[in-house]
Chains A and B, each alone.
Chain A
Amino acid sequence: MTKDKPFNRPDMSLQPRALTPEYRSSRLRSPMRKLLSFTPSQGELLGPNFGHDVINLNDNDLIINYAAPGKAAIGEQIMVHGYMLDENARPVSNSLLEFWQANSGGRYRHKRDGYLAPLDPNFGGCGRTITDGDGYYSLRTIRPGPYPWPNGGNDWRPAHIHFSCFGLGWAQRLITQMYFEGDPHIPLCPIVQSIANGKAVDCLTARLDMEHTVPMGFRAFRFDIILRGQGSTLFENKLEGN
């Protein structure tokens, strides 16, 4: 990346609005005033750099990283992998990714989650990794279950994995969620539908990847993450409608 060019702003034709009343929690947690625009300073272009030494072996293997020795999490074993790139298709390399998710029954290991599905003693639901020089990452996990949540009476979250992405500059910081191709809850979920743009929802939906699916082993899913890029001029902005 270049150190002197500001990152492109959030593209509000792709990003969710702050207030999306169907997602009830957004009603009192959405600022009503316009975000203040300003000229970014150096601190927005730089960001924390964690280095590969913060990562331990198996941090990105949720099947075993919380399990007792010789044990494994219960559920359908999968690999999720892909590239973290910017809008210019440049790799976002050596950058921290954190993941969290419910277990195969749709239950989180969290004191506030009282869903009836049992906890799995061998599943924490937490992982992390650092992208390589090409922006590539991978994790092994079990496919999370869908679960009901208190919103509109009978709302269910589609199966999903939360992704926390640092990028290379503070302005790129992103938390998002990955969904699974074909999940019938995707069009029904008020959190997913906080994104008005169907193509943007599609980009959060991982695809079954038979090429990397291991015969008699586990299925692979492909999920790319695209962070904001640098150096789009005002003119380009207009062309692209952002």
Chain B
Amino acid sequence: MIRSQSASQTAGPYVHIGCTPSFAGLKNMYGGHDLGAEMFSSDTSGLLITIKGRIFDGAGMPVTDAMLEFWQADSTGQYASQGGSQGWARRAVDAELAGYSLQTILPAAIGEDAPHIKVWVVARGINLGLHTRIYFDGQANANDPVLTSINDPVRKSTLIAIRDGESYNFDIHLQGENETVFLNV
């Protein structure tokens, strides 16, 4: 290595100013459009799904200043490598319950990798952004290399979104008994 990698620092409580300025109330910043508001354009083919969830700290309190980013393949198993932000989205969680809602399409399996969405979590108090994945209950998860490497069924279940009526539910626990499995990406 010729250069040393830059150290991470917390996104802090005001991340919204820089990443979702319209959400933060900066009038007409970037034409009033926050980057990553939509995961895919409306004409993208695939099974439409909605994922909802909340994010909690080690005391079970909502992490109301968190920002989440999502990155996924489309329904044919392709990642967008050029043009636009397809397959990528971000959400500031709401200031009361730390909830989010993401409308997207179910990604395809790629090889042994079961359908999943990559998630990156930043907030005040998180020194180095946290990576995890959303898998889906009822999909072909049996041979996925990440899931099969987790022996404890309770730990494994933290990565699997559960059907809840018309949508999926995926909560994130930063710490504690139900701590989400985070990945060394």
Contact = CB atoms under 8 A, between A and B. Distances in A.
Interface string B1-19: 1111111111111111111
Interface in A205-242: 224-229, 232, 236, 240, 242
Nearest to B60: A28
A14 B9 contact: no
A176 B17 contact: no
Contacts of A17: 127
A55 B36 CA distance: 14
B34 to A, nearest CB: 11
Contacts of B7: 14-16, 176, 195, 197, 200-201, 203-204
A49 B86 CA distance: 9
Contact of A35 (B4, B10, B84, B184): B184
A42 B146 CA distance: 14
Q: How large is the interface on B (under 10, 10 to 19, 20 to 34, 35 or more residues)?
A: 35 or more
Contact of B146 (A36, A174, A201): A36
Interface string A159-199: 00010100000110111110000000000000110110101
Interface in A45-72: 46-51, 54, 56, 59, 65-66
B185 interface: yes
Contact of A85 (B3, B25, B176): B3
Given A32-B175, A162-B12, A228 B126 contact: no
Interface in A80-111: 85-89, 98-100, 108-111
B150 interface: yes
Interface in A124-179: 124-128, 162, 164, 170-171, 173-177
Given A42-B79, A164-B19, A203-B4, A48 B126 contact: no
B173 to A, nearest CB: 9
Contacts of A48: 71, 80, 85-88
**Taking chain B's interface residues, is the majority helix, strand, or loop, or is none over half, making it mixed?**
loop
A18 B128 contact: yes
B41 to A, nearest CB: 14
Contact of B69 (A30, A126, A173, A177): A173
Interface of B: 1-19, 21, 24-26, 29-31, 35, 57-59, 61, 63, 65, 69, 71-73, 79-88, 110-111, 113, 118, 120, 122-130, 145-146, 149-150, 155, 174-176, 179-185
18 contacts: A11-B4, A28-B125, A31-B175, A47-B71, A48-B71, A56-B31, A66-B26, A88-B2, A100-B19, A110-B13, A110-B24, A128-B18, A174-B8, A175-B8, A195-B7, A200-B6, A224-B3, A228-B5
Given A33-B181, A162-B9, 19 more contacts: A16-B7, A16-B9, A25-B10, A31-B175, A38-B183, A44-B118, A51-B84, A110-B17, A124-B26, A125-B17, A127-B18, A162-B11, A175-B10, A176-B8, A192-B9, A199-B4, A225-B6, A232-B1, A242-B1
Interface of A: 8-11, 14-18, 20, 23-33, 35-44, 46-51, 54, 56, 59, 65-66, 85-89, 98-100, 108-113, 124-128, 162, 164, 170-171, 173-177, 191-192, 194-195, 197, 199-201, 203-204, 224-229, 232, 236, 240, 242
